[in-house]
Amino acid sequence: MIGIIDYNAGNLTSVARALSALGYSWIISSDVSELKKAERIIFPGVGAAGSAMESLKSLKLDEFLKEAFEKGVPIMGICLGTQIIFEESEEDGGTKTLGLLKGKVKRFPEPLVYEGERLKVPHMGWNKVFWKMEHPVFKGLDPEYEYYFVHSYYVEPEDSSIIAGTTFYGIEFCSAIAYKNIVAVQFHPEKSGKPGLKILDNFCKWKP
């Protein structure tokens, strides 16, 4: 069973529908005792880092995630879930986040200009990922595939060796990471069609 963490940050049913389409059983829950029964964890989310951290702490899901990481439970972060895995976000003037991995979350520069054209922030729509490492969760993906993004912030890991993929939008930024039992993506695999389903399927079969 796959545990989908509910911390009032939305975007849960689309993840659940994708898992159902792949034939996996899942539970959406904010109950730590229920989530501890799951074989692996998906940590999705959209919205603001500050309010998300408040919800995680009030539900004791911050402690649960740290414990799951230390125990080697496979964890996938998606969008805001990816950002919260790191230590600190520039959002809301500076927000301390989970700190499972070293690094920070930065906002796209304003203005964001490329070749004389001002780009819109948030970065919204389809874009490529340039894969930087061989990893079971990102196996079997055509380099021409595109993935669906909606975000104004991106992660900057302290250790560049955990960067699994990058994307270009005015600047090159980290769009996928992999370290021990954690994988995380800035895009939305559950909204990215065939390649997104492939990533989710790979994750559900992955044994770190």
Q: Tell me, what amino acid is at 43?
A: F
DSSP H helices, 4-163, are 13-22, 32-35, 49-58, 61-71, 80-84
Question: Alpha-carbon distance 140 to 128, whole Å?
Answer: 15
Strand pairing class (2-5; 153-157) = unpaired
Is 79 one of the annotated active-site residues of the chain?
yes
Is 158 one of the annotated active-site residues of the chain?
no
Question: Of 34, 79, 88, 90, which one is the catalytic site residue?
Answer: 79
Question: Of 91, 123, 174, 190, which one is the catalytic site residue?
Answer: 190
CB neighbours of residue 19 within 10 Å: 22
Is 156 one of the annotated active-site residues of the chain?
no
Question: Of 151, 174, 188, 204, which one is the catalytic site residue?
Answer: 188
CB contact at 8 A, 59 and 28: no
The catalytic residues are 79, 188, 190
